[in-house]
Amino acid sequence: MARASRKHSGKSSVRLRYSPLKFNPTSAGFFMTYNIYILYSAMLDQYYIGHTENISDRIFRHNNSGSKSTKKANDWVVKYTEEFGTRAEAMKRELEIKNKKSRKYIEWLINSVG
């Protein structure tokens, strides 16, 4: 029984968006950071806590009905941010703040920055 041999060209069938030889995120100074943020709406007199990779885009979406919990107002402003290296760290910190369930703690965080 003869078996047809197939030459392997050495190239992967996976298509990359960038050349692994030309682009290295760590050497290019490209690091994804994640932020937790506290927004405040004067119209509602409420704070909102969240996390994101792109804070300016996220605030735009909050102010333009992009979020169920913030669509009641369009005057959200950033009062506080913290930066983290991983999404897991940011989510953990977001939950720490939310679990305090304290407006006083949120205001203390905001005022501690100066």
Averaged pLDDT for residues 71-82: 93
**What gap in Å lies between CA 11 and CA 109, rounded to an integer?**
53
Residue 13 lies in a domain: no
CATH for 67: 3.40.1440.10
Query: What is the count of structural domains for the chain?
Result: 1
12 is written with which tokens? 């992967």
In a domain, 95, yes or no: yes
Strands of 1-114 (E only): list them.
34-41, 46-52, 77-84
Query: Which neighbouring-strand residues pair with 84?
Result: 34
Instruction: Name residue, tokens 């107002």.
Output: 73
Is the residue at 39 inside a domain?
yes
Per the structure, the complete domain to which residue 84 belongs is given by 34-113
Q: Does residue 94 lie in a domain region?
A: yes
Strand partners, 78: 39
Question: Is 3 a residue whose pLDDT tops 90?
Answer: no
With 60 as the cut, is the pLDDT of residue 112 above it? yes
- Radius of gyration of the chain from its Cα atoms, rounded to whole angstroms: 23
Q: Report whether pLDDT(19) > 90.
A: no
Helix (H, G, I), strand (E, B) or coil at 103: helix
| Residue 7 belongs to some domain of the structure | no
Q: What percent of the chain has pLDDT over 90?
A: 53
